[in-house]
């Protein structure tokens, strides 16, 4: 059987370009003892992928040149040399940017697809998406009905779920996104009470107008200037939850820290960071809550699916330049 892969051929300097990647065909090896072959159905385009393209060995490691790009995915087992997984099983794992993968069964999770499609385990039920939003909003941020909440990159995958969870918990939710269309998406589809376009200029003033009594909880996916504008507007005893800082990922050698950090002591506020894997023991509880909200029609994560492994590089470029609404997936 043949497999097709998107491999990294040059490390991006700044913004990634499609020419940093190449599409190659190869023979799919037979699974060795304990391994399975998987036909990949969907790949998750996550912000952390950008940091793995650098030579610098960051939090998520550095991937090798000429290897399939690091990516989490879901697929079906098509050949098995393992007692733990059978042909036809739906699985999740580090499948990589390719049409087929051969991996040890121990690296894969068998999925229950009786009431949700497999790709939901990359989106609303995904570790890097829905569970991240839950961990940051509930476990770290302790969101409640009296909070005015702001979420940055709110129209993206983590942000869209974070906004909806805050709404379910009774908070007033303000999303920050780039452009009028994304702001309309936030209020009309995601259910935000208000949306602010950070590209329209003077974000701090716009936030002041949207949250005149101050921001109690900020869920930050962006960092940089957006974080500074929100810090200017935090309420007394605010919680600032650092989920990520995508505005910094194209130049991790020169990460810009917040200039307005003195608002933290002045307003008796707290700045807290987290990685989703730290909350692994709570994943079953988080998944159960999200499933209930999905079933009850209270939580829905729109998907943006790019067709074809040949377009995997375009999807990476798209994520880093704000082309996606909701969860960005590639269907190889």
Ligand X SMILES: NC(=O)c1ccc[n+]([C@@H]2O[C@H](COP(=O)([O-])OP(=O)(O)OC[C@H]3O[C@@H](n4cnc5c(N)ncnc54)[C@H](OP(=O)(O)O)[C@@H]3O)[C@@H](O)[C@H]2O)c1
Question: What residues line the site for ligand X (CB under 6 A)?
Answer: 46-48, 128-129, 132, 153, 155-159, 177-178, 182, 221-222, 226, 243-247, 274-276, 319-320, 322, 324, 328
Closest CB to ligand X among 3 and 324? 324
Give min distance, CB of 64 to ligand X, in A.
22
**130, 183, 240, 231 alpha-carbon torsion, rounded to 10°:** 160
- Residue 220 to residue 242: CA distance in whole angstroms: 5
**Are residues 103 and 36 in contact, defined by beta-carbon separation less than 8 angstroms?**
yes
**Within the chain, where are the H helices?**
48-52, 130-134, 157-168, 180-185, 203-210, 224-231, 263-266, 283-295, 312-320
Closest CB to ligand X among 308 and 322? 322
Task: Check the CA dihedral 201-325-167-152 and report its sign.
Answer: negative
Closest CB to ligand X among 36 and 231? 231
Of 105, 219, 106, nearest to 153 by C-alpha is 219
Closest CB to ligand X among 164 and 247? 247
- Residue 131 to residue 305: CA distance in whole angstroms: 20
247 phi and psi angles, rounded to 5 deg: -65, -15
Closest CB to ligand X among 118 and 153? 153
Question: CB nearest ligand X: which residue?
Answer: 156
Tokens encoding 246: 């995508």
52 phi and psi angles, rounded to 5 deg: -75, -10
Question: Rounded to the nearest 5 degrees, what angle is found at the Cα of 194, between the Cα atoms of 189 and 198?
Answer: 100
**Are residues 31 and 19 in contact, defined by beta-carbon separation less than 8 angstroms?**
no
Give min distance, CB of 84 to ligand X, in A.
27
Closest CB to ligand X among 3 and 152? 152
Q: Name the packing angle between helices 283-295 and 157-168 (round to 10°).
A: 80
Closest CB to ligand X among 8 and 203? 203
Closest CB to ligand X among 155 and 171? 155
Of 331, 301, 280, 262, nearest to 109 by C-alpha is 280
Task: Check the CA dihedral 75-86-126-61 and report its sign.
Answer: negative
Closest CB to ligand X among 155 and 163? 155
- Residue 57 to residue 291: CA distance in whole angstroms: 35
């Amino acid at each position: 059987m043949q497999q097709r892969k998107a491999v990294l051929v040059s490390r991006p300097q700044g913004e990634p370009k499609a020419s940093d990647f190449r599409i190659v065909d190869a023979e799919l090896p037979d699974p060795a003892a304990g391994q399975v072959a998987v036909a990949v159905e969907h790949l998750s385009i996550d912000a952390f992928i950008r940091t793995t393209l650098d030579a610098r060995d960051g939090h998520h490691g550095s991937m090798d040149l000429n290897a399939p790009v690091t990516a989490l995915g879901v697929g079906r087992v098509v050949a098995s040399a393992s007692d733990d997984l059978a042909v036809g099983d739906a699985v999740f794992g580090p499948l990589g940017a390719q049409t087929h993968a051969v991996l040890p069964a121990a690296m894969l999770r068998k999925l229950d697809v009786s009431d949700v499609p497999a790709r939901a385990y990359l989106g609303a039920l995904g570790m890097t998406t829905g569970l991240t939003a839950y961990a940051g909003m509930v476990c770290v941020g302790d969101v409640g009905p009296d909070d005015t909440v702001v979420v940055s990159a709110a129209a993206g995958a983590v942000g869209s779920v974070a906004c909806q969870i805050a709404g379910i918990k009774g908070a007033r939710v303000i999303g920050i996104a780039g452009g009028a269309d994304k702001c309309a998406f936030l209020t009309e589809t995601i259910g935000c009470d208000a949306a602010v376009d950070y590209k329209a200029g003077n974000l701090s003033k716009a936030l002041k107008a949207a949250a005149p009594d101050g921001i109690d909880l900020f869920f930050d996916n962006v960092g940089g200037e957006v974080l500074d504008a929100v810090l200017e507007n935090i309420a007394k005893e605010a919680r600032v939850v650092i989920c990520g800082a995508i505005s910094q990922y194209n130049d991790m050698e020169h990460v810009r820290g917040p200039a307005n950090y003195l608002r933290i002591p002045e307003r008796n506020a707290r700045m807290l960071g987290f990685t989703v894997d730290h909350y692994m023991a709570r994943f079953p509880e988080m998944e159960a809550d999200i499933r209930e909200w999905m079933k009850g029609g209270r939580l829905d994560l729109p998907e943006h699916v790019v067709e074809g492994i040949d377009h995997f590089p375009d999807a990476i470029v798209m994520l880093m330049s704000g082309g996606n609404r909701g969860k960005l997936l590639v269907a190889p």
